[in-house]
Structures are given as C-alpha cells and as structure tokens.
Amino acid sequence: MTLSKIFNDFQTEVKVSSPGRINLIGEHTDYNNGFVMPTAIDKKIFFEFKRNVSTDNCRIYSKTFDSYFEFSLAEISKQKDSWKNYLLGVIEEIQKMDKKLGGFDCIVKSELPIGAGISSSAALECGFAGGLNKLFTLNLSKQEIVELSQRAENNFVGSNCGIMDQFASVMSKKDHIILLDCRNLETEFIPADFKDCKLLLLNTNVSHSLADSEYNTRRAECEGAVKKIKQKYAEVSSLREVSFEMLEEFKDQLTEKTYQRCLYVLNENERVQKASEAMKNGELKKFGELMYQSHKGLQHHYEVSCPELDFMVDFSEDKDFIYGSRMMGGGFGGCTINLIEANKIDDYVKEISKAYAEKFNINMDVISVSPSEGTVIE
C-alpha cells in the first residue's frame, strides 16, 4: 500500500489535541519534590489515529516534518530523530504495563516550536499515550498517562525530567494556573486573573547544546546533596525535606557549587508559595518581583541561563509596565515569560526585537499564550 493511500484517505477513529505548557514560577523544583506553577497553553500538537487490524505494525506520519516511519510492536529500538523516540518510549512503557496494543496508523501535526521550552516533548508523549489509551481501550487513568509519559522520557529518551510538563499538559484547566506539589501531586487550581496584564513569551530562538547534559547534572548534584544530608537526617528523601538550617549545617561537606544549587531550590520553593498567595490576592507586582528573583537564582546560583535569556530579562527590568520576567523551562535557551501590561505589548516587542537582533544577530519570536485546557481526546 502506498503512503498516500494510507494517509490521504484516513478514516479517523480518535482525535487528540495535546497542549504545550508554560511555567509561571518554580523552575527545577519538580524533580526535587517541590512546588511549580504551570498551565497548558493554547498551542498544541494534533493527532489522528486509526487501527490497522491486519498487522502488528505501527505507521506514523509527521505532517510537520513530512516524515514517515513504520515499526513493529515487537521491535522497539532507538531512532536518530528525537521526535520518534518520544513516541517509541510511550509504546515501550505501555507494553511494560502489560497493556495490549495492536497495529495502528497515526498522523501528527504540531504548532509548537521545538526547543522553545514550551514542552513539545511532553505534548507529544501525553497526546500519543492518551490517543492509544482511547483507541485500544487500555483503561489508563489521566495520572497513569502522565506518569508513563514521564517514564518514557526518563527511560527511553534518557532525559531525567521531573513530572511538571506532563502533568500540566494533561491536567490543566482553562483560565487557571496549577499550583502543584510535586511530592504528592496535590493540586490547586488558581484562577488566572492578570487584570490589565498579559503573559507574553519571547523566544530567543537559541537552544544551546548543553541543555540535556547540564539538566541531568543539576539533578544529580541535588540528589548527591540529599544523600549526604540523609546520613544524619533519615527523614530526608529529597531537597523538599531539607531546611535552610540543615543546608547550612552541611555547607562544609558540599562543594560551593552544589551548595548554591541547593540554596536556589530551597529559595525557589519559598518563592512559589509566596507567588501563589500573591496571585490569589491579585498582587501582580509582587508576583512579578518574585519572577525576577527566580531568574536571578537560575542565572547565578543554578547556572542554567544563557546570555540571550539574560539580555531579555535585563532589558525589561527598568520598564515599569513589565511586572516580571524570567527564563522558563530547563534553560540554556528557549523563551522568557513576561508579565506585561497588555496595551504596551506592541511597542515593547518592536523595541526589544530591534535591540536583540542588534546584539545577537538573531531574530526573536513572540508567542502569545493563554492558560488552556489539558489534553482533549475525541
């Protein structure tokens, strides 16, 4: 059968739209069992699925990359293109759960820019898992979909990500921000009322290659510190149980860098608590101030920012119509998230685009976003 025969005359059985996410504050806290404040956005990856009963083969066509691949459920092996591995990882995790899949055809189309830090990877994993769940009546709960998608990324792709992105992509509610406690997945939905302001993403359009390796290193640094502290305080199983006093007590046994990483995480968890209160009380200036503090911590103590992101945040700092600005996601490129007065956006975008292009010889992009519903499956 030719490709066009399979994909032109597609009798869709299941349709999925799977959103990217933003994170207002709480960066690199999720894998330390801390707090985050993400939500899904109105930019998505779309899937269409149908069963192909005749084979155990899966045929997937990406409209975005105009790329096709086919594999047997019995032979899952790592591919060169990373988008394929997110999907294969999901298949592997579903199979590990003893859930029965059959052959299927799938079309994927994305409107999420890759490398922008708005989690196209979690959207791919969760949307794909959600679609297969419906197509083959696997009876997976939303939480199982979130967790298996995270495991796909950890085990198959090899990135030790936390749970924030998958959780936000699946669980978000329109017009709300999630306050998520990553220790027990306790969730509070806070109405996203930004009054005269809007959230604006500015994409540096850089994605430095350090990102993956440094991400895993940061996580290992935090876990190494926890291991040391646990020797005296048995109740400690993550940085979440570590107090400022405990960290001070162990300062001499940690390298200066590791100490700074841990201090950042403890401070960031406190900031998220304050930020969620500020949001509930409509104190947007206070919220924005915490965003700036978060960025400084990520820049100087956690060291996951980059000159392009720092330039954007610095550029905004003396503008009183920008309440807050910070890098978002894993770091080393991608977007800043800005809380900005809506009627100033057009002029500001012109000004910063020009300054950014002059400084780095790169054109930035603007991504306007609004808090949206998690995965939708029809």
C-beta closer to ligand GAF: residue 161 or 275: 161
CB of 165 to ligand GAF, least distance (A): 5
Residues 295 and 24: beta-carbon distance below 8 Å: no
Of 160-199, binders to ligand GAF (CB under 6 A) are 161-162, 164-165
CB-based contacts of 28, cutoff 8 Å, min separation 6: 218, 264, 265, 268, 298, 302, 304, 330
Q: Which of 14, 18, 31, 352 binds ligand GAF (CB under 6 A)?
A: 31
CA dihedral over 85, 86, 91, 95, signed as positive or negative: positive
C-beta closer to ligand GAF: residue 33 or 372: 33
C-beta closer to ligand GAF: residue 122 or 135: 122
Q: Is 261 a binder of ligand GAF (CB under 6 A)?
A: no
DSSP 262: H
Listed ranges 27-35, 65-73, 232-240, 270-278: which one lies at the site for ligand GAF (CB under 6 A): 27-35
Please state whether beta strands 176-181 and 365-368 pair in parallel, antiparallel, or not at all (unpaired): unpaired
Backbone angle region of 371, left / alpha / beta, with phi > 0 → left and psi within -120 to 50 → alpha? beta
Cβ of 105: how many Cβ atoms within 10 Å?
21
Count the residues of the shown chain that bind ligand GAF, applying the rule CB under 6 A.
Answer: 11
Q: Is 27 a binder of ligand GAF (CB under 6 A)?
A: yes
Report how far apart, in Å, the C-alpha atoms of 28 and of each of 34, 85, 143, 162, 360 are: 9, 23, 21, 8, 27
CB of 309 to ligand GAF, least distance (A): 13
* CA nearest to 268, candidates 294, 232, 239, 233: 294
CB of 100 to ligand GAF, least distance (A): 29
Q: Is 127 a binder of ligand GAF (CB under 6 A)?
A: no
Question: Which amino acid is it at 357?
Answer: A
CB of 38 to ligand GAF, least distance (A): 9
Residues 195 and 287: beta-carbon distance below 8 Å: no
How many Å apart are CA 108 and CA 88, to the nearest integer? Answer: 14
Of 325-354, binders to ligand GAF (CB under 6 A) are 329-330
Q: Which of 28, 44, 84, 176 binds ligand GAF (CB under 6 A)?
A: 28
Identified catalytic residue from 30, 105, 165, 310:
165
CB of 119 to ligand GAF, least distance (A): 6
> Does the active-site annotation cover 165?
yes
Listed ranges 24-32, 65-73, 231-239, 256-264: which one lies at the site for ligand GAF (CB under 6 A): 24-32
Partnered with residue 201 across adjacent β-strands are 337, 367
Please state whether beta strands 57-62 and 104-110 pair in parallel, antiparallel, or not at all (unpaired): parallel
C-beta closer to ligand GAF: residue 119 or 276: 119
CB of 108 to ligand GAF, least distance (A): 20
* CA nearest to 40, candidates 127, 107, 106, 108: 127
| 3-class secondary structure, 313 | helix
Q: Is 86 a binder of ligand GAF (CB under 6 A)?
A: no
Q: Is 147 a binder of ligand GAF (CB under 6 A)?
A: no
CB of 218 to ligand GAF, least distance (A): 9
DSSP 116: S
Q: In this structure, what token pair is assigned to residue 159?
A: 């990135």
Q: Is 35 a binder of ligand GAF (CB under 6 A)?
A: no
C-beta closer to ligand GAF: residue 164 or 225: 164
Active site residues: 165
By CB under 6 A, name the binding residues for ligand GAF. Answer: 27-28, 30-31, 119, 161-162, 164-165, 329-330
